[in-house]
Amino acid sequence: MNILVINSGSSSLKFQIIETDQNMIDGSSDKVKVKGLIDRIGTQALAKIAVTNGIEVKESIAIRDHSAALDYIFRKITSGTLNIEGIFSLSDIHAVGHRVVHGGEKFSKSVLVDKSVLKEIEDCIDLAPLHNPANLKGIQATLALFGEKVPHAVVFDTAFHSSIPEVNYLYALPYQYYRRYRIRKYGFHGLSHRYVSYRYRRIVSLERDQLNLITIHLGNGCSICSIKGGKSFDTSMGFTPLAGLIMGTRAGDIDASIPEFLAHKEGISLSDIDILLNKASGLLGISGLTNDMRELLDEEREHHDRRATLAIDMFTMRIKHYIGAYLAQMGGADAILFTGGIGENSSEVRRRICTDLGFFGIELNEEANKQKCFGAEGNISTENSKIKVWVIPTNEELMIARDTFRCVAGLPV
């Protein structure tokens, strides 16, 4: 089954076409045929398409909206010039899977799209005003393109965390605010945490309910998740993706009184403070240089920049804090899994996080850690490490494709 995977942003559209079937034990049957990104939709857009046969397309083109972006994509991939295996027309797409950031409390698993599902996604816009409207644009554009001939499924980033118990997802606010507005921890990066935990259990031959893990997704956005008995037990992101770890431009956890204090001192609005916390804080705010961890490590190494070092140290210390909390919360763990752009590629950041965690039985194999970068997967802990440490590259698109297949085939998700 050829599945079109769509990840729609406010001015971007990422896509992959993945061939998958019921043989989804180790991923050997899954085949990415083509992938791409249309960026800056609404202006002079940048289009990138990469075929697994090595052919690439890069061009600047005027694209007014998401429907025009999809039209451009399919004109390109069905033109015959890219030689994409088995893709000659729209009829060669058998299903479409969409990433939707927020499913609220309504959706604990992926579902096929119908009018009621679209209405529920709209109802979650208050919870994800930047993401859900953009996700809906992608769904509506593909529905218009394919009509009712092709089934569509939605895969929610929050769904994996629907298993978090009440004691962990509630905030200590007056309970009526949860009842009225569903103010609670929802968590995000669910597709990534779910994928790496699934991949780990396939590698070590465990059943889902045997998994007790800490999964750490580190990129421009960062989150950490405790997985108990194979289910999400707690996670660092909360009501919004702002909470928890220090990120590229997000502050992570702060004292809740700081916004009111800043509003008074700086004479700025809550909206301005929200932008400050989401767009101008984190690694960028601390260093005053960049939100890119690679650049900060370069600045530290080449120029001994004090604030670059401070940003990196604060970043890693916050992660240590959560590792300790989650180990206490779960009564230990079998493994810690690193993923995401930083987690997969920065051996130095992993080293700093794991340093001085010997008290918990965590021992890093320095040589293995240095080798596991840029797509490499494997164990980076010593033989004596009581808690194993792994690097597992994430694959959110594959999770979307597999869930879409299950929804269409009527299999459990």
Query: Mean pLDDT lowest for which of 143-157, 295-309, 316-330, 336-350?
Result: 143-157
Residue 51 in contact with residue 84, Cβ under 8 Å?
Answer: yes
- pLDDT at residue 361 above 60? yes
Strands (E), 330-377: 335-339
**pLDDT of residue 28 exceeding 70:** no
Mean pLDDT confidence for 32-50: 95
Q: In which residue ranges of the chain is CATH 3.30.420.40 found? A: 2-156, 205-391
pLDDT computed for residue 119 by the predictor: 95
Answer yes or no: is 293 a known binding residue: yes
Q: Assign domain 205-391 to its CATH superfamily.
A: ATPase, nucleotide binding domain (3.30.420.40)
Active-site residue, selected from the candidate residues 30, 71, 123, 157: 157
* CA 334/CA 386 separation, integer angstroms: 8
Angle between helices 258-266 and 270-279 (to 10 degrees): 120
Q: Is 104 annotated as a binding residue?
A: no
Share of the chain above pLDDT 90, in %: 95
CATH of 2-156 among 1.10.3720.10, 3.30.420.40, 3.40.50.2000, 3.40.50.300: 3.30.420.40
- Using 50, 70 and 90 to split pLDDT, how confident is the model at 290? very high
**Cβ neighbours around 365 below 10 Å, total:** 18
CA distance 134 to 9: 5
Lowest mean pLDDT among 8-22, 166-180, 351-365: 8-22
Q: What's the mean pLDDT in 224-229?
A: 98
CA atoms lying within 13 Å on the CB side of residue 96: 26
**What band does 55 get if pLDDT is binned at 50, 70 and 90?**
very high
Q: Is 342 one of the annotated binding-site residues?
A: yes
**CA-CA-CA-CA dihedral for 387, 388, 392, 397, to nearest 10:** -40
pLDDT of 130: 83
> 306 among the known binding-site residues?
no
| Spatial distance between the Cα atoms of 413 and 114, rounded to a whole number of angstroms | 17
Residue 27 has pLDDT above 90, yes or no: no
- The enclosing H or E element of 365 equals none
294 is in an annotated binding site: yes
99 is in an annotated binding site: yes
Q: Which of 13-22, 290-299, 301-310 has the lowest mean pLDDT?
A: 13-22
- In the annotation, is 157 catalytic? yes
Cα dihedral 367→368→370→376 (10° resolution): 160
Quote the pLDDT of residue 49.
Answer: 97
